[in-house]
Amino acid sequence: MLKRTLVGLLRSHEQTGEKAKDPLLKTRYYKLSKDKLWEEVVSTLKKINGYKILHEVPNVGEIVVEKKTITGRRQDITLTLFAITPVKSAVDIYSASRGSLGDLGSNYRTILDIYNALDRRLSAYKIS
């Protein structure tokens, strides 16, 4: 966690992906169609305090969300949903803070918050 804060002194973004070194930032997979996953993700985001959905672009698979941090800075978060097969889909997240200073690891924590909320809601469908 300290390492994340130190990295966050300089960096003001974080993202997930297939090749992420941190296992907590690996792409999440679910046994759901992309459309069903979309409904679940949007519904989950609406229930998490402090997050505001700005744009939904279903044909591209992107949901753009804004979060205001404790310090008053804003984070722009993009969730990208992919159909892997008709019954398997994935979610990646990119989070960036507005402003020039680092984020002290807040984008990392934001991604984990969203993934944890999705994992709780979709635990029956999660593919590890």
Say how far apart CA 117 and CA 102 lie, in whole Å: 25
The pLDDT value given to residue 36: 97
What angle is formed at CA 97 by the lines to CA 48 and CA 99, rounded to 5 degrees? 140
Q: How many domains does the chain have?
A: 1
% the chain with pLDDT above 70: 91
Rounded to the nearest integer, the mean pLDDT of the chain is: 90
Q: Mind listing the pLDDT tens digit for each residue in 17-66?
A: 999 999 999 999 999 999 999 999 999 999 999 999 999 999 999 999 99
At residue 1 the predicted structure's pLDDT band, cuts being 50, 70 and 90, is low
Q: Is pLDDT at 115 greater than 90 in this prediction? A: yes
Q: Mind listing the pLDDT tens digit for each residue in 99-111?
A: 777 777 889 999 9
Cα–chain center distance at 26:
11
Q: Which domain holds residue 114?
A: 2-127
Report the predicted TM-score, pTM, of the whole model to 2 decimal places: 0.90
The pLDDT value given to residue 2: 52
62: domain CATH number is 3.30.310.220
Residue 62 near residue 55, CB atoms below 8 Å: yes
Across 81-91, average pLDDT: 97
